[in-house]
Chain A
Amino acid sequence: MLKATLRSFLAHKGRLLLSALAVVLSVAFVAGSLIFSDTVSRTFDRLFASSAADVTVGPKENLDETVPSGATATLPAALADRVARVDGVAAARAEAEVEDITVVDAENESVSPTTGAPTIGSAWNPTGRSPVELGSGRAPRGPGEALLDARSADRTDVRIGDTLTVVAPPGSFQARVVGIVTFTTTNPGTALLFMDPQTARTKLLGDAGAATSITVDAAPGVSDETLKRRVADALGADRYLYRTAGEQAQSDVEELGGFLDVIKYVMVGFAGIAVLVGVFLIVNTFSMLIAQRTRELGLLRALGADRRQVRRSVLAEALLLGLVGATLGLVTGIALAAGLIELMGLLGMSIDTTEMVIGWATVVTAYVVGVGVTFVAAYLPARRAAAVSPMAALSDAEVAGVGRPLRLRALAGTVVGAAGAAALAGCAAAAETGPATSLLGLGVVLTLIATVVAGPLLVRPVIRVLGAAFPALFGPVGRMSQRNALRNPRRTGATAAALMVGLALVGGMSVASASMTESFDRQIDKTLGADFVVQSGNFTPFPREITEAVRGTEGVGLVVRSAFTPIAVRLPDGDRVETTAAGYEPRLDEVANITYARGGTASALAEGRLAMDADFAREHGVRVGSVLPVEFRGGRTAELTVGALTDQETAEGFGTTGGIYFGMGTVERYAPGGQDAAVYVNAAAGTDAGELRAALERTLDPYPQLQVRDLADYKQLVRDQIAVLLYLVYALLGLAIIIAVLGVVNTLALSVVERTREIGLLRAIGLGRRQLRRMIRLESVVIAVCGAVLGLALGLVWGVCTQQVLALQGMTALAIPWGTIVAVVVGAALIGVVAALLPALRASRMNVLAAIAHE
């Protein structure tokens, strides 16, 4: 039996190759993502572990910052001296390190990375653990001197002796480059600027007596844990945050983790799609192989093989395929990971590909996924194979599976579909985001299953309609291709399903993103009243000096500053909500249109007052006049009175809950050291908007991180951000398409083989090669478009339901991207044409006589 299995495996290697490709793709994405994240984590683990001081003392953080406030938490630099006196301390240094400074060269060009990675300014405290060393030049001495990292220097052509402008929170200053530092370990992609410690403190922190952390080296024989305890005892355990080298590295890795997680999730998403669509392809391939071999299997049965042996034989074939696919997938995954690492290199994160980590967990996962998927997918066809009767060997019966009734599928599809529809209806009707999202997820999964199960029944009407014009357009060739597509609805259904799954996702996501864009557009139109908004490209705050420069620009009438700060507010119902609050200058009404349920901007921004979203307030028992204890960073607290309740469509953005805001004065009083997040500008009376814009852009020339945006620019900005989501969708679409094309090729190739005699007959009675190719191409197109139509229909339903959930979050607009939908259908037709290339060529090359004589 094993011998027969092996023979059969090798005999069908062409067809199996297509299935193997699906397995390879799935495994490659799984393995690639694992290898990549393992490699990156190990690289950074090492970097952070090697560069962290034995013990680090940092300021205590009572609130997490989800939206950057621009403030840098500090502690007194003098602590370093106190720490140095602790028993077991070899050395203690006061560090000054500020992220998100901007460095500009003499031509006002930014020296900062273009990738969005931060530019970090720090004190030059070289130790054996520094991740950098002085490559050329000398150490900085006194104000006006700095070191720059080699990568940034190379990229922007900065040399020793050049003068840079550094835009730091306290203000801009000039520094001459006196040396270039190079990374001794992996460069995580950031730009680094070093100054002598005194300069760093005054220029970056604005306070010669402040430090961002104290790093402590242990004396020989003193463990990190012991040292940490002693330092904590000396300074007061509750006053500061103490971390050993291990803990510090851990926390650094976690900080970076968010970014790595995104890449990981994307890869897992791809792997998921590849697995899902791959399953269809494998089920299809095995079903076809078995249909083709009905007589052979019948003969085996007639010769005495029992059902279990037949089933095992098929499953053994699947196992082989899974093993081969997983092995190739693992290799492809390694290549994929290497490619990703190279890509990271382009983004400035230089990881050595020779450092690649291929853990045993990766290998095991690859084989489990590869073999598991194949095995599961082949199980049903194997059962069907086992059910072949010995009589099949003798009769000339039609291919198995064609004539079997689809009643069970109809029933199952209807039941699951009804449940899915109910879930989606429930989601659309739900009033709360939480249950609505769960119902949406459930509905999506159920309707997807229902559509796949009922696929063979759905393709019939769809293809009848799609191909209705074929006979008129393409004559007998069109008629035959339409009917051929309907000949085996199971096969057509399964083939179309592979394309359907991917396109349903695309349809759903494109409706959701179009609706989001539309909602944001409307909201921006409604709320933004300013002529211009000055903001940095990546929304990081900017120093006050820039706001003042904007205010001083000719033609500027009104300037309204805004800032963010993390707060924790204790609500009357006992909840403590950590969120980000905004602060605005008083004349907010002139640059924004805010709808109030109670009160107004004046009462919202008055001293000691705050405003919040009316719904949020109702939920937590807050009323106008309620006095709320509010906690700020650094442990400062205030009692603020609710002055106004807002009734905005979207009160909540990313990282903010409750839509809380107050006057700029409150921010400056309780959360000092922050920077401005955005500045709203109105033109002075009689100033042309175009002129003002030009003037503002001239003002901001030395600050390349900032942009001037009007209403249209602002909408475009939001659109671009949502577009990132769409790019992901399109990448998914690409993968789904590749696999679906394989499926269509597979189906057509089998159909061509099965219809060899029919093709021979057609050729004998005068069907030209070109006509034959067209016939197969049309069949392919109708199958592909059928998959697209079913998928998009499903996706539209999902998209509309998703929009209903988004509406609960205030994104009330529904937009259907018809352009995208039409493009997808046209694209599907093209896919059909491409998929038919090889099968059509094969059919047209078929020898007429051999085809007639084919048994």
Chain B
Amino acid sequence: MSTPAEHVPGLASAGAVAARARALTKSYGSGETAVLALDSVDVDIARGRFTAVMGPSGSGKSTLMHCLAGLDTVSAGQVWLGETEITGLKERELTRLRRDRIGFMFQSFNLIPTLNALENVTLPMDIAGRRPDPKWLDQVIDTLGLRDRLRHRPAQLSGGQQQRVACARALAARPELIFADEPTGNLDSRAGLEVLGILREAVDELGQTVVMVTHDPGAAAHSDLVLFLADGRIVDEMGRPSAEAVLERMKRFDVIRGPFDRSPGTARSPGTDRPIGTERPIGEG
């Protein structure tokens, strides 16, 4: 579990990098009231791997994802997607980048309610005015088992089916990087496992790169590498994680922060961001 002295957590020691950030800093507010969400983070996201980002509430994991995905602006530092530096890109270029090179899955409200499943899947390409590659699209749809649900509207789909559609949308354009923000957060354990299995498959079978933000050690256990964030810094990483090991590691944050921590940054609302390490069956979203 301990970090080797020659290796900084979060940085790839070898292999291709899908995205990277250097000295990435993000602060909200200014002066006395400024809150540092990311504190000079250096991170590499390895291509073709499934990376999980974990950390307690307020650790900055969602902010990290938003900055890497070009959804949020950075206060300082640089972010690259592949060879493109995205810090400093204009709004329009960022939009195009998200559309063409990044896939997204969110915890909830992933689909446009007025469009059917197929229309949702092809939406980014439709927006771009590109035709989807039919062979790839078929493969994605069959892999996700959506063949008989294509004409359904989101309201007619179960939560798990909706997330699978969102996953198909993320995969359909064959993006360089897929960001999944708590993709199993609103699902029951069976549907959650299904979605995690699909993400795993996307990496293993389809060669995609996935970054998943989660607070669930069971979900993180499906990844190749877990990055631990605390107080805006990457404090640790864990390769080939197991749920128990991740849970153990997370418990240590709780010990450090302890019961005295009542800062607003750690306020936890039930149902959306449950405290880590509480007695919950692993794998439940």
Contact = CB atoms under 8 A, between A and B. Distances in A.
A476 B123 CA distance: 7
Interface stretch (A426-434, A650-658, A757-765): A757-765
Contacts of B126: 475-476
Contact of A768 (B69, B96, B106): B96
B106 A766 contact: no
A393 interface: no
A808 interface: no
Interface in B57-71: 66, 69, 71
Interface string B98-133: 111000101001111111000100011011110000
Given A477-B127, A487-B114, A766 B100 contact: yes
B92 A768 contact: yes
B114 A766 contact: no
A484 B114 contact: yes
Interface string A743-784: 000000000000001100111111111010000000000000
Contacts of A484: 114
Contact of B114 (A480, A767, A768, A769): A480
Contact of A767 (B113, B127, B129): B127
A761 B110 contact: yes
A768 B112 contact: no
Contacts of A769: 91-92, 95
B95 A761 contact: no
What's the dominant secondary structure at chain A's contact region? helix
A766 B96 CA distance: 6
Interface string A78-111: 0000000000000000000000000000000000
A522 to B, nearest CB: 52
A765 B96 contact: no
B71 A848 contact: yes
B132 to A, nearest CB: 12
Contacts of B109: 757-758, 761
Interface in B125-167: 126-129
B204 interface: no
A470 to B, nearest CB: 12
A483 B115 contact: yes
Contact of A765 (B66, B72, B113, B124): B124
B200 interface: no
B68 to A, nearest CB: 13
B112 A758 contact: yes
A170 to B, nearest CB: 81
A852 interface: yes
Contacts of B66: 849
B106 A852 contact: yes
B59 to A, nearest CB: 17
A765 B104 contact: yes
Contacts of A767: 95, 99, 127
B106 A475 contact: no
A758 B169 CA distance: 15
A761 B170 CA distance: 12
A161 B161 CA distance: 99
A488 to B, nearest CB: 11
A758 B96 contact: no
A491 interface: no
A231 to B, nearest CB: 85
Contact of A758 (B72, B113, B119): B113
Given A479-B119, A480-B112, A849-B66, A766 B72 contact: no
A479 B120 CA distance: 12
Nearest to B66: A849
Contacts of B110: 761
Contacts of A848: 71
A715 to B, nearest CB: 53
B71 A476 contact: no
A766 B127 CA distance: 8
B98 A475 contact: no
Interface in A629-688: none
Contacts of A849: 66, 71-72
Contacts of A483: 114-115
Nearest to B99: A766
Contacts of A852: 71, 106
Contacts of A479: 114-115, 119
A483 B98 CA distance: 25
A763 B113 CA distance: 15
Contacts of B169: 765
A849 B71 CA distance: 7
A677 B187 CA distance: 90
A67 to B, nearest CB: 64
B33 to A, nearest CB: 19
A480 B124 CA distance: 13
Contacts of A763: 95
A848 B70 CA distance: 10
A318 B124 CA distance: 44
A771 B113 CA distance: 18
B127 A476 contact: yes
Of the candidates B96, B111, B126, the one having the most CB atoms from chain A within 10 angstroms of its own CB is: B126
A765 B124 CA distance: 6
A851 to B, nearest CB: 10
Given A764-B98, A766-B96, A766-B99, A771 B127 contact: yes
Contacts of A487: 113-114
Interface string B65-82: 010010110000000000
A479 B124 CA distance: 14
A475 B115 contact: no
Contacts of B129: 475
B106 A761 contact: yes
A757 B111 CA distance: 10
Interface string A475-510: 111011001100100000000000000000000000
B143 to A, nearest CB: 20
A769 B92 CA distance: 8
A96 B88 CA distance: 90
A492 B104 CA distance: 32
A487 B153 CA distance: 13
18 contacts: A758-B113, A761-B106, A761-B111, A761-B112, A764-B69, A765-B98, A765-B99, A765-B124, A766-B95, A766-B127, A766-B128, A768-B95, A768-B99, A769-B95, A771-B127, A848-B71, A849-B66, A852-B106
9 pairs of A and B residues whose beta carbons are closest in the complex = A766-B99, A483-B114, A476-B126, A766-B98, A757-B109, A768-B95, A765-B124, A766-B124, A767-B127
Interface of B: 66, 69, 71-72, 91-92, 95-96, 98-100, 104, 106, 109-115, 119, 123-124, 126-129, 169
Interface of A: 475-477, 479-480, 483-484, 487, 757-758, 761-769, 771, 848-849, 852
Given A479-B119, A761-B112, 13 more contacts: A475-B126, A476-B123, A487-B113, A758-B109, A764-B69, A764-B104, A765-B104, A766-B99, A769-B95, A848-B71, A849-B71, A852-B71, A852-B106
